[in-house]
Structure 1
Amino acid sequence: MNLHMSIVFPSEQLSLTPDFDLTSDYEVLVMDVCELLSETDCRFVMGGFGQDPWPVDVSYDLSSVMEQLPTAISDLRRRGEAVIDLYGQGVQRRLTFAPTGDLVNIRCSSDTRWQPDPAAEQVSYEEALRLLEGLKKDFRAAVERTSPTVAAAGPFAEW
C-alpha cells in the first residue's frame, strides 16, 4: 500500500497538564489534544498518491483526521464506504475507502491544483483496517507520551 498515515511520537516522555476540560465532547477534546501535541516535537506524517510527504500538521490536519477516524473505522468494519476529509487549507484532499469483497478501493480526490497520481489504489480489507486502526493506536501512544492524564481520560482510555 502506498498510502500511509502515522504519528512520530514526542522524543521524550512528558507530563503536560491540560488546560482544557477532559469531559468535552469528542471533537472538542481531539482539537484540544492535538493543540497539546503540537506543543511538542510530535509530527503527523501522511503520503501517497504521488506525493510523499503530504503538507500536513498536528494541530489542524491530525485533528481533522482524528475527529473522523472512529466513524471511518466503524463504517469500514461494517463493510460500508468510509471517508476521511482533510479539509485544511493547502491540503484539501478526500480519501474514500470503498470495500468490495476482500478488497478496498482507496480513492483520493483533491480540491486544489495538486492531483493524485494514481488517483486510486486497491488493498486488502485487512490492510485498510490496519492503516486506520494503526493511526488510532499511534494517537493514543503519542497522547500517553505527552500527557498520561489525558490518555487516561475519555475515549483515549478505551483505545
Structure 2
Amino acid sequence: MNEQENLQYPIGRFQAAASYPFEQTKEHLAAIAIFPHNLTELVGKWGDDRLDTPYRPGGWTVRQLVHHVADSHMNAYIRTKLALTEDVPTIKPYDQNTWSQLPDYSLSVAPSLVILSNMHQRWVTVLDALSEEQLQRPYFHPENQQRVSLAEVLAHYAWHGEHHYQHIYQLALRNQWV
C-alpha cells in the first residue's frame, strides 16, 4: 500500500469472509460494544482545533468522522432490526458524503458520542441475544445487489469502528496529541 492508501485504510479494506464462526461473531460483538467508550476516551475532551483537523489530506475532519460513525451505526442498527423482523428486507442506501455536508456535522461531537453510547447499548443487547441461526438472517443491499447476513454486518461494523478509530488515533500520533 502507498502512503495515501495507508492513511485512508489504516487497518486495510474490509474483506467479507465466506462464513463467520459463532466465536468470531462474539469477538466482533465485543468490539462493537467497547467502541463508543474507546472513541469517547480518545476525542471526548478535544477542542475545535483538533476536531476540525482532517485525518488525511482531502479527508474528513475528526468532527465529521465522529458524526459519520454515529449516522452509519444508527443505519446498521435499524437494518439489523429490519433483518430480524422482515423477510430479506431491501435496505435504503444513503450518500455519506452528502450527509457529511449537512449542518449537524458542524455540531460538537458530544451528541454523536452520546448517540453512539446509548444506541450501541441497545444494538449490542439485540445482537447478543441472537442464535447462530438468527445471525444468518439477511437483508438485501441494492447498491451491490447482495444479501448481507447479520454475521457479516457484525464483522463489517467491528471493522468500521476500528477503521475510523485508527484514522483518528493515527492522526493523534502524527501530531503528538497522545
Q: TM-score range by the shorter chain?
A: 0.3 to 0.5
If the length of structure 2 is used for normalisation, what is the TM-score? Answer: 0.36
Q: Which has the higher strand share?
A: 1
The structure with the larger Rg is: 2
Higher relative contact order (CA 8 A, sep 6+): 2
* More helix per residue: 2
